[in-house]
A and B are shown apart, each in its own frame.
Chain A
Amino acid sequence: MNDLSSPRALARGPALVFAGLTAIGLVVLLVGLGLDADRTWRVYLQNWLLWAAIAQGALVLSAAFRLTNARWQGPLQRLAESFAAFVPISLILFFGVILGRDSLFEWVHHPVHGKEWWYSTGFTFGRDLAALAWMTLVSEIYLYISLRPTLGQARESATGLRRSIYARWTAGWRGEEAERDLAERRGRKMAAVVVLSYALCYSLLAVDLVMSLAPHWVSTMFPGYYAWGGFLGSISLLTLVAVLMRNTPEFAGEITPSRRHDMGKMIFAFSIFWMYLFWSQYLVIWYGNLPEETGFVAARLGSEFLQETWYFEGFWTRIAEPYARITLVTWILLWVLPFWVLLGVRPKKSPAILGAIAAGSVFGFWLERYILVTPSLVPPVDVLAGANSGPFGWIEVGLGLGFLGLFMLCFLTFGQVFPGAMPRKP
């Protein structure tokens, strides 16, 4: 067993790579805004929707571990918490979405009848900012409570900048057993607050930032579906990172087969639930066949997703329609592969297979955000008329890598500053 109570040294190689990716992202953002602002902001929103939800979803996962008294997770809990280092950054990056509103939100130019006040620049972005600020606040309080017992142990041995940070975070901490119990109880309360806030705030964001792109589309399921996606995405990313880091000194011997088995089970079960949410939304829309509902699905699955030919004779022509193929790939990455590959015990325990499925799932969510955003802004007719909207253009890839780099930089920095261990439970 390694001593996990001290922070790790910054892994220079990965840190340089991610810093480079962030720089690329920044350059692509600036150049892209000059050349094709609409498209750049679209991609920006797509990535923001993904990484903000993953960062917050990871904290929800940590909170869920706490609330369910889970014991198997070990260092995974702190790993999940360190993803939340991106939460304050996502609040800052949200100003980018506000800046790009002219390119993104149709209602900025043409107010929606009956919803003029609901979709107005001030109120919409004001409440979203408030929601994100609230999420940041509760996240930081949660982290504060969660880290204090560990830092209390580590502050003696810390040096330099860390020492002063630890001293500030552990002010008033005496290291008594009673304090630890209190921190445990408070952490549990904050965990409930984090989970509830996530459900409400991310439902609101789903309405304001995704549904409002097609302001006439209605689905009561969508906010919950979106919030669940962030949660599942964070589990996938957590699994991927854990598997990749399994041989680092910090995690050596910690990512055991039984822990991988449990992570695999989580991806398996929660991806089934994701599929269930998707399906129960899809089936109602398919069956009801109301134009205000089907439009959203048709833009993504092809104009005749209601027809038999979709499945048999005309299959290849149907999936040649704009976006249909990407939607199918997304679905395969998010449900088909996780389900069929992780059905058995052995694939769940194999680092290579589990890691590949988790990586596919994270990538799948990146594509899913693309599919949620782009077809609303560039409808299939425009694509057929030649609009440039593919998921793998230089702007898409560059900005995507930039966000990935920034997210991982935050994660690495957090790991460098704070110890990776949880205080041992008696």
Chain B
Amino acid sequence: MAELLGVLSTPHETVAAIERLQKAGFKKLDVYSPVQSHEIEHALDRGPSRVRAWTLIGGLTGVTVGYAAQILAAYDWPMVIGGKPFASIPAYTIVAFELTILFGGVLTVLGLVAHGFLGASRQNPAYRPAFSQDEFGFLVECHSDQIGRVQELLGEAGCKEVRVVEG
């Protein structure tokens, strides 16, 4: 297997390059981008991020823990306060709500770290500092015998520079 890098300068060009390579049957594509781009995301079509599930689990845990902890604490040492029932749902809704947000938010970030960073810890030598500034790096994985074809396609897509990534 070989990996090629093409350098582009706008999201628009990058999307066009993705579509061109996809049409030619290359599926293992990746992009280094200095900005978020819905178009690139759409073109690569990876489906919704799994971070969704983390938020949901966090929120549900938070609301459960919130109500349960308060009600259990109230019955652990029952004390009438302000003439209110021990398990005062209206009053407990506040802390339960806050914990829903807290757990949901923390788990969302953990999900981001788990999916976005831990899996991507491999340092790809193709990366270069300009990809966080103003250039778009387009990575194509292909068989060694297709290098010429990919180089050609990347050139047609308007890459400023095309080279083979040295492992």
Contact = CB atoms under 8 A, between A and B. Distances in A.
5 contacts: A283-B91, A287-B82, A307-B85, A308-B85, A308-B87
B90 A282 contact: yes
A286 B86 contact: no
A289 B89 CA distance: 15
Contacts of B84: 306
Contacts of B88: 308
Contacts of A307: 85
A118 interface: no
B83 A283 contact: no
Interface string B64-104: 00000000000000000011111111110000000000000
Interface string A277-307: 0000011001101000000000000000011
Interface string A305-348: 01110011000000000000000000000000000000000000
Interface of A: 282-283, 286-287, 289, 306-308, 311-312
A286 B85 contact: no
A289 B87 CA distance: 17
For the residues of B in contact with A, the DSSP-based class is loop
B90 A283 contact: yes
A345 B82 CA distance: 43
A289 B90 CA distance: 13
Contacts of A282: 90
B92 to A, nearest CB: 11
B87 A287 contact: no
Contacts of B91: 283, 287
A99 to B, nearest CB: 41
Given A282-B90, A283-B90, A289 B83 contact: yes
Nearest to A286: B90
A80 B106 CA distance: 41
B128 to A, nearest CB: 37
Contacts of A283: 90-91
Contacts of A287: 82, 90-91
A286 B87 CA distance: 14
A203 B87 CA distance: 36
Given A289-B83, A308-B86, A311-B89, 13 more contacts: A282-B90, A283-B90, A283-B91, A287-B82, A287-B90, A287-B91, A289-B82, A306-B84, A307-B85, A308-B85, A308-B87, A311-B87, A312-B87
B75 to A, nearest CB: 12
Nearest to B48: A345
A19 B82 CA distance: 56
Shortest 8 CB-CB distances between A and B: which pairs?
A: A308-B85, A286-B90, A311-B89, A283-B90, A308-B87, A307-B85, A289-B83, A308-B86
Nearest to A282: B90
B104 to A, nearest CB: 13
